[in-house]
Amino acid sequence: MSADEKDNEPSGDRRASPRIPVEMWVEESTDRELYFQRGANISAGGIFLERTIPHSKGTVVNLQFTLPDESTPIKVKGEIVNVGDDPTELGMGVKFIDLDDNARQRIQQFIERVSEQDEESDESPEADKSE
């Protein structure tokens, strides 16, 4: 595969860790501005903020969010790495750039809990309906 082909791969193919849907508010700030964004999905490596006018790629932001079912916020710096090619697309992918080990572990445990719940709901007794 050539370098050009790799550049055209969907961004999901470059992810180093699983990404799951999430609904939560994220406080996003720069040196001059403060925003409250909606998180759409999360992984140990980053988060996608939906329905927002994206910053330019490479912009560094401060994020603070509390995972569902937790009470202690996670604070992390992030870099904007993914924005839509179409100016009408709203949302941006943010890569965590200074996530400490404790926060990374909390995010990974959250992903595992949600993934296990999804698997359990997928294993519902559908076979019983064919009797």
Q: How confident is the model over 54-74, as pLDDT tens digits? A: 999 999 999 999 999 999 999
Q: Which residue has the tokens 């995010």?
A: 107
Q: What is the dihedral of CA 29, 51, 103, 76, to 10 degrees?
A: -20
Alpha helix ranges (H) inside the chain? 3-7, 101-122
Does residue 128 fall inside a structural domain? no
In 10 A of CB 40, how many CB atoms? 19
Number of domains comprising the chain: 1
pLDDT tens sequence for the chain (131 residues): 434 433 333 444 455 678 899 999 999 998 899 999 999 999 999 999 999 989 999 999 999 999 999 999 999 999 999 997 777 789 999 999 999 999 999 999 999 999 888 777 776 555 445 44
Does residue 40 fall inside a structural domain? yes
The domain that contains 87 carries what CATH number?
A: 2.40.10.220
pLDDT at 12: 43
pLDDT at 115: 87
Does residue 84 fall inside a structural domain? yes
Domain around 50: 14-121
Residues 62 and 77: beta-carbon distance below 8 Å: yes
What does the alpha-carbon distance between residue 34 and residue 45 come to, in Å, rounded to a whole number?
A: 22
